[in-house]
Structure 1
């Protein structure tokens, strides 16, 4: 509704082109239909994420948003995750009863995909870590945000899905680094103390997770099985899937194999019925050079925008979340598409907010209006 009702001062030409570049893959899939192909299902399943990303990007492209409102957006994004964590504790109150090995744990994920659950909980970890640093002036708020950060970290870890947790840590590290650069010496000292608090909290959460899983979580992150033997493939077979998709891209470099066709080809040629976890290799194999162009638009447009506008303090956290998530979990959920759009926002810092931040946290430098 916003795309069609709100006046856009900056035309999102790159993302309109991006959506148009996805159309040839649909036509190729239609021309190459086999008996088992359900073209409607294939398009809906494989293009819903990329199209969602395009629509979000069109809406958010260089759109102005206040500093207060970006925090509201993050909070409203995190509140349902609090409900998710409550559900997970109700579904599996005793983690030790669900542990059978070092594989991804569906029981500890509420019966849903561990990869996707860990991904969204990792996003919640980032939001409450940011609030712990920026919006916790009192001890009470520090305790609330710290508790939610710890609980989400614990439930993300015990899914035994590493991608979401590692992505969250990279997001938090990027946020702290750029936040640290933008404040004065007094605030730098305060941030340093908070960093040590967060690290201490993380060590306690990891220790508790290890205790609850009987040490198996340590084996999981060390790429070992339950007996401590090193696994042959740290990517759990994903390297083979990516290699196959890149080979198909080189065989069909112009138009690709068509939307949803790579899964059928993999089953027919190598006998493996599995969808790729990697959106980058999938878009290349299914869309060819059109997919490569679309991918380059997604990769480079936010970076070019960042060169001209450095107002978004969360930019790299959002960008890394999108990039890392589509490489380990593809776009099976809307989260990476939505968060990618947040990279394109122009955050406005009014003078009143600058003064409040200066009084509370120390003067923030180099935040253009």
Structure 2
């Protein structure tokens, strides 16, 4: 009886998820047709619903994590479709929801690490206010742009540290993050249907990225790949579900490859390694056999998708991943010019090692030194340049807290993958989008297996 009930519940869950996936495919098509008005309406309606839902539930079952996971998945899609009133809107919404979540449920004692992290960022604001390197700069906008990501991360971590959720809840959180990414995949597909003339060199490809930054789109698609891999391995009990999740995974890989932005795809691959490794390590012989079979299948699928993407790009994809130009000559820089930006940030740190040059001044320092107008791509060197030794301390907190937790509690098969996503993403995309901040928060959650309730008949004396 209990097995039948569990199967019924599971079938209902999968039907519900299938309906939500279909709904988000339709949503993607609608936004392709109606563009900005539809995107704005979508973001406004979801934000309003999210506030209502949280106030109604009072965050009794950590609903704030579901709300913020969807916002995280929505971030890049909303940006590319002009669905936001200002660029950092999603980060601010996540920050506000995390504060509301803590209003209802508080935070754990280890949250003091992240309070200290947030406090270490404050002196950089004062330095910037008293020593702005550009008189034309709008101070409020500089602070909002440069600190929205770090503050979003701090509050995500503060809420999540040692927060207990079930394995099922975490899989649900990941599914909600995936949904708007499916809409985004639909949008980028129809943004430029004929790709034959879009590949003329090995630079990152805006046409294949919905007209938005390929770096950010690649990150979102990379996270989508990982979530779909999780669903393929852990949430596909039937052949039908395996085929659906497998097709979606293959398509996300294809779209990620043809952005020609390597960061998201490679980060996804690196993050998958500890996840699959821990499944094999802690699984029984049956699980190990399944994992090896799935790895072989996925390797074959990846090879086929790579071949298709290489054909779409007129053979340029291989050159891109070999760091070559269109005719096969090796490029001088391996990171697309990021090394030069990092060099100027380190120079700023060595000139101002104690408190740094102040929040937002990094960009103006680089313009003065070299004439290069570009925002930082590396959050670590940006922290050093703008916050000095306090930035080093802030980064060490972010680095060491999850690592120490993982060494003491290493049966969370997701924790190291989320940590890798954060660490690698901030090295090539800084904190431009909300994704690394929220994934960092997930890396410090505590997972437990929910035991089914045992119903006993009352003994009547």
Which of the numbers 158, 174, 193 marks the counterpart of 2:274?
A: 174
Q: How many Å separate the matches in 2 of 1:45 and 1:52? A: 12
Distance 1:187 1:10 in 2: 37
* Matched residue, 1:12: 111
For 1:21, the equivalent position in structure 2 comes to: 120
Distance 1:79 1:96 in 2: 29
Deviations 1:280-325 (A, max 9, x none): 0000000001111000000001111222222421111100000000
SS in 2 for 1:274: coil
Secondary structure of residue in 1 paired with 2:143:
helix
Q: Per-residue displacement from partner, 1:110-154 (whole Å, max 9, x unpaired)?
A: 011000000000000000011111111111010011011001100
Taking structure 1 as reference, are residues 7 and 32 closer, same or farther at Cα in structure 2, changes over 3 Å only?
Answer: closer
Deviation of the 1:159 alpha carbon? 0.4
SS at the partner of 1:273? coil
The answer (yes or no) to whether the contact 2:348–2:385 under 8 Å persists in 1 is yes
Q: In structure 1, which of residues 9, 32, 55 is the aligned counterpart of residue 131 of structure 2?
A: 32
Equivalent residue, structure 2, for 1:160: 260
2:457 is aligned to none
CA distance in 1, matches of 2:406, 2:333: 36
Tell me the CA shift for residue 35 of structure 1. Answer: 1.4
Q: Distance in 2 between matches of 1:133 and 1:93?
A: 31
Q: What's the CA shift for 1:39?
A: 1.0
Tell me, yes or no, if the aligned pair for 1:277 and 1:327 is still in contact at 8 Å.
yes
Q: How does 1:353-368 map to 2 (within 5 A)?
A: none
2:430 is aligned with 1:330? yes
Query: 2:406–2:416: 8 Å Cα contact kept in structure 1?
Result: no
Residues 248 and 256 in structure 1, CA contact (< 8 A), matched pair in contact too: yes
Matches within 5 A, 1:154-233: 154-233=254-333
Q: Take 1:35 and 1:10, find their aligned partners in 2: how far apart are those partners?
A: 42
C-alpha RMSD over aligned residues: 1.2
TM-score with structure 2 length normalisation? Answer: 0.75
Q: What residue is the counterpart of 1:280 in the other structure?
A: 380
CA distance in 1, matches of 2:226, 2:192: 24
- Tell me, in whole angstroms, the C-alpha distance in 1 between the residues paired with 2:452 and 2:297: 29
What does residue range 112-131 of structure 1 map to in structure 2 within 5 Å? 112-131=212-231
Alignment match, 1:44: 144
Gaps of 5+ in 1: 354-369
Residue 196 of structure 2 aligns to a residue whose secondary structure is helix
Q: Which residue of 1 is the match for residue 414 of structure 2?
A: 314
* TM-aligned CA deviation for residue 155 of structure 1: 0.5
CA distance in 2, matches of 1:254, 1:237: 27
1:82-103 alpha-carbon deviations (Å, 9 max, x no partner): 1100001110122223212110
1:61 is matched with which residue: 158, 161, 186? Answer: 161
Higher RCO (CA-CA < 8 Å; seq separation 6+): 1
Please tell me whether residue 296 in structure 1 is matched to residue 411 in structure 2. no
Match of 2:345 in 1: 245
Match of 2:449 among 325, 337, 349: 349
Whether 1:261 and 2:361 are equivalent positions in the alignment is yes
Q: Distance in 2 between matches of 1:61 and 1:261?
A: 31
Alignment deviations for residues 191-234 of structure 1 (CA, whole Å, 9 cap, x no partner): 10011111111001000001111110111001111111111111
Structure 1, residues 173-208: CA drift from partner, whole Å, max 9, x if none? 221111110101121011100111111110010000
Unaligned runs of 5+ residues in structure 2 are: 1-99, 454-461
Specify the alignment match of 1:363 in structure 2.
none
Give distance in 2, aligned partners of 1:9 and 1:108.
43
- Structure 1: which 4+ aligned runs deviate by more than 4 Å? none
What is the CA-CA distance between 1:251 and the residue it aligns to? 1.1
User: How many Å apart are 1:270 and its aligned residue?
Assistant: 1.1
2:331 maps to 1:235? no
SS for the counterpart of 2:447 is strand
- TM-score of the superposition, structure 1-length normalised? 0.94
Structure 2 residue 405 is matched with structure 1 residue 305? yes
1:70-149 counterparts in 2 under 5 A? 70-149=170-249
Match of 2:71 in 1: none
Paired residues of 2:127 and 2:358 also in contact (CA < 8 A): yes
